[in-house]
Structure 1
Amino acid sequence: MNATTGSQTGASSRSSALDGIRVLDLTQVMSGPFCTMMLADLGADVIKVENPAHGDQTRKSWGYSVIGDDSRAFLSLNRNKRSIRIDLKTETGLKQFFELVKTADVVIENFRPGVAARLGIGYDAVRAANPQIVYASISGFGQSGPYASYPGYDLIAQAMTGVMSVMGEPGGRPIKSAIPIADLGAGMFCTIGVLSAIRARDRDGEGQYLETSLFESALAMSVWESTEFWSTGESPEPLGSANRMSAPYQALQTADGYVTVGANNEKLWRLLCKALDAPELIRDKRYADNNARLNHRDELAADLEVHLKHRDTDEWVEILLASGVPAGAIRDYKYVLTHDEHVRAREMVAHLQHPVEGDVAVLGTPIKLHGTPVEIRTAAPLLGQDDDVILTGEHDDLTEPQ
């Protein structure tokens, strides 16, 4: 896939799903840019409004820079967008911003609560300029409540929601999810909220304000952990790779590594024992049903590994899949992003041409709309790349909002 090729096969001639929707993106770092990137992939015209001095924080200070000054972290989250420089602390900057508000459908910000209002660009001011606007705020802990003023970081949200208390191996030091689920979750929930608000506006003719937070997003994903607490009255503990609701459903050791096995119902449990040539496990009362297997999870893993250690991981994957048991090898990102044929077939790696960096690899989209295909069109913009076109209105469609 390249900058001009859609991310799905069988592309339709219809417009993109969000064609005609204009988004003013006041966000930076991860949660907000992830949200606006999804909207841009879906066809929205996302205009990234950046500080003239340094732009998005991730341009210079996060991750790796390869050729130019912009980091690969920034490039990975800001494709399909346009960039303009506006100093929102000046009268000229505010005038430019509100001229754009009149043409926009959505404004998204992830300032700390209260900052947007102090700058004069909060929801009330924006709604006065454009009553149909959908205005979204992402923050660390929400716009209200005792934690509202706390700094919003993924690490802190994972800690304070209980996520870190269940990560890692039993008895180990606290660890966080390597994937920043609070940040990315907030971005996804905000995207859902924005799309819902656009639908409501198109139906009722009224815009609205919406918000989400890193804290609430991480907590909302704690489905099994909250279920365990409400079922037992006890705080869930770390389980390594095991599952809270079924067993065996985890990584198990083989002769040369680990295989993940998902035998999470009675049929699959019996198929697993048959594939392992271990009928004695089916007869073992400790493993008579799912509740019993959960109560003897550690013993079960040890007994399964006695059999699994006789073959290599790839052999077991082949045997288990042929037997109807869900299984997979644990891969690293080098393998996944360069060798995995399924990743290639599903177009989950895209290549874009950047004016400074040249060829830039980015992740594809998991959203496969077959009627209005999602497109990965352009690399992340240079700071202020679109100032002349957008701020002067030259060759730019500054129409009224949809």
Structure 2
Amino acid sequence: RETMGNPCMNNYTAGDGRRFWLVGLQGDRHWPALCAAVGRPEWLVDERFATARARAVNAAGLVAELDAVFAAKPLDEWAEAFGAQPELFWSPINSMEDVVADEQFHAGGGVVYVPAQDGSSVPMVATPADFSATPCDVRGCAPALGEHTEGLLADKRTDHAR
């Protein structure tokens, strides 16, 4: 991460400890927007950073400078600065708490309620694979330790008797 040749395609930490990704695969296209967002227009003409090759050669120093810049503000403020730059693509790196609190996660079926033996239900993360021809069928929680042992052993004894 510290020597990523394209600083527009890397992850960083904001001043509040929250992390985010910049997703600018085309370094030359996204570099001016990044410079504008971080308030460093002089980097556009700085010989260390003016070209993609120069940024790659000086990556360690540039990433360290960006780390220091991003550490100066919380992610909410960076989100505003990034939002003002249509050519700067980014995304927060969500914590588990962020994901669970996200309305879209729930609306998209990210949680399923699995029936438990006592008649209650247990919330669990849904399967990430979704195949329309073979939809997931939530039947119940995992068995307790040894719950099916006698039945499986009985089946084995029956199989050997044949």
Tell me the distance in 2 between the aligned counterparts of 1:349 and 1:253.
28
Aligned to 1:375: 136
Aligned to 1:327: 90
Preserved contact between residue 248 and residue 301 of structure 1 (Cα < 8 Å):
no
Aligned partner letter, 1:270:
P
Within 5 Å, give how 1:220-299 maps onto structure 2.
239=1, 246-260=6-20, 261-265=22-26, 266-299=28-61
In the TM superposition, what whole-angstrom CA distance separates every residue of 1:82-120 from its partner, at most 9, and x where no partner exists?
xxxxxxxxxxxxxxxxxxxxxxxxxxxxxxxxxxxxxxx
3-state SS of paired residue (2:48): helix
Aligned to 1:384: 148
Tell me the distance in 1 between the aligned counterparts of 2:61 and 2:73.
20
- With over 3 angstroms needed to count, the CA separation of the structure-2 counterparts of 1:300 and 1:275, relative to structure 1, is same
- With over 3 angstroms needed to count, the CA separation of the structure-2 counterparts of 1:286 and 1:270, relative to structure 1, is same
Q: Tell me how far 1:313 sits from its aligned partner.
A: 0.7
Tell me the distance in 1 between the aligned counterparts of 2:31 and 2:117.
54
Which structure is richer in relative contact order (CA contacts within 8 A, separation 6 or more)?
Answer: 1
- With over 3 angstroms needed to count, the CA separation of the structure-2 counterparts of 1:359 and 1:295, relative to structure 1, is farther
Percent identity reads 22
Tell me the distance in 1 between the aligned counterparts of 2:3 and 2:117.
46
Tell me the distance in 2 between the aligned counterparts of 1:386 and 1:357.
24
Preserved contact between residue 259 and residue 316 of structure 1 (Cα < 8 Å):
no
Aligned partner letter, 1:384:
H
Tell me the distance in 2 between the aligned counterparts of 1:373 and 1:336.
26
Q: Tell me how far 1:274 sits from its aligned partner.
A: 2.0
Tell me the distance in 2 between the aligned counterparts of 1:376 and 1:321.
40
Aligned to 1:348: 110
In the TM superposition, what whole-angstrom CA distance separates every residue of 1:350-390 from its partner, at most 9, and x where no partner exists?
22012159422322122333x425224112245328949xx
Tell me the distance in 2 between the aligned counterparts of 1:356 and 1:386.
21
3-state SS of paired residue (1:267): helix
- With over 3 angstroms needed to count, the CA separation of the structure-2 counterparts of 1:322 and 1:373, relative to structure 1, is farther
Preserved contact between residue 254 and residue 311 of structure 1 (Cα < 8 Å):
yes
Preserved contact between residue 253 and residue 309 of structure 1 (Cα < 8 Å):
yes
- With over 3 angstroms needed to count, the CA separation of the structure-2 counterparts of 1:286 and 1:357, relative to structure 1, is farther
In the TM superposition, what whole-angstrom CA distance separates every residue of 1:302-339 from its partner, at most 9, and x where no partner exists?
332454344321221243145232223343223322x1
Within 5 Å, give how 1:2-401 maps onto structure 2.
239=1, 246-260=6-20, 261-265=22-26, 266-324=28-86, 325-337=88-100, 339-356=101-118, 358-369=120-131, 371-372=132-133, 374-379=135-140, 380-382=142-144, 383-384=147-148, 387=151, 391=155
- With over 3 angstroms needed to count, the CA separation of the structure-2 counterparts of 1:255 and 1:271, relative to structure 1, is same
Tell me the distance in 2 between the aligned counterparts of 1:386 and 1:352.
24
Aligned-residue CA RMSD (Å): 3.3
Aligned partner letter, 1:247:
P
3-state SS of paired residue (2:124): strand
User: 5+ residue gaps in structure 2?
Assistant: 156-162
Preserved contact between residue 259 and residue 317 of structure 1 (Cα < 8 Å):
no
Q: TM-score, normalised by structure 1?
A: 0.32
Q: TM-score, normalised by structure 2?
A: 0.69
Q: Tell me how far 1:283 sits from its aligned partner.
A: 1.4
Tell me the distance in 1 between the aligned counterparts of 2:44 and 2:80.
22
Tell me the distance in 2 between the aligned counterparts of 1:293 and 1:357.
60
